Amino acid sequence: MPEALNLIDDQRPAQRRAALAILDELEARSAFPGAHRLGVTGTPGAGKSTLIDALLRALRARGETLAVLAVDPSSRASGGALLGDRVRMRAAGEDPGIFIRSMAAREQLGGTAAGAHASVLILSCVFDRVIVETVGVGQSESDVHSLVDTLLLVANPSSGDALQFMKAGLLEWPDVFAVNKSDLGAEAARTRSELESGLAVGESASGEWRRAVLQVSARDGTGLDALQQALDAHRDHLSTSETLAARREAGRVAHVLSALRERFGSRGVEALGGATGVANRLRESGAGTFSLAAQLDAELDAALAARS
């Protein structure tokens, strides 16, 4: 598995072809629904890593095997991950049932990394649950949403997060909300109330799912059981409806679009018929997500070369 994760970052032609073959095979053979893919986002200082550490301990105690893909801010000099979440997540220790990997965000919108879709696929074939921690709330929370089945937003009650989220229009994406640091008392209760009010006046993008706003404390464990129950309930809700299949399919399209926009911009995507055109190609071709992205990339390259 570590070798496969390293291979997807290798841009040499032979290694790139090998990576595409592996990803296509994994995508074709992976069971559905497979691992639960959980995204954790929130502003810096909200305590995401500490809360994930507490969740790792609790979920591991239930016998789950767990992987964490921690997307860190990038070093402008090297492009590598700076923070290294292994330092902040102590639950892993020497436990072979927990795997933590840091990836550099390289300034991607929403705080996700370019290779995150491939990494999530690989990890999903090995572990019961894959947790993706992002840099923070970014310009495009939909980037994170397209990677995962369930999106958890962690709010910091001492920084006015609720109002910031409402102003930025970020409340439509998360499936579960956790107000961390509930030991702050009145501030945490006020933030929870503000989030609940924002959800009440806003239109939910989650269909019939009733999104929970919970108070938790990663430090003393308050609310962790309720948070686990909410995450499990959302996973079960997706699995008993057609929502999960549609969400995973939308994630595949989002990956192809993101890869093409990175090289060719919006005009390149428009030349292929936009998001609808890419979705149709993905459905009609029967090709793997990653191979189709490479194929469309080559088509646009050829079209540009013909014009020059």
Q: What is the pLDDT of residues 259-287, one digit of tens each?
A: 899 889 999 999 999 999 999 999 999 88
Kindly state the tokens that stand for 168.
């930025």
pLDDT in tens, 195-205: 888 887 554 45
Q: Are residues 134 and 283 in the same domain?
A: no
**Domain termination site, one of 212, 241, 270:** 241
Higher pLDDT, 256 or 201: 256
Does a structural domain hold residue 125? Answer: no
**Domains held by the chain: number:** 3
The domain of 21 spans 1-30
What is the pLDDT confidence band of residue 110, given thresholds at 50, 70 and 90? very low
Q: Average of pLDDT values for 211-234?
A: 94
**Domain termination site, one of 221, 241, 261:** 241
pLDDT in tens, 7-29: 888 889 899 899 999 999 999 88
**Domain termination site, one of 241, 268, 293:** 241
pTM over 0.85: yes
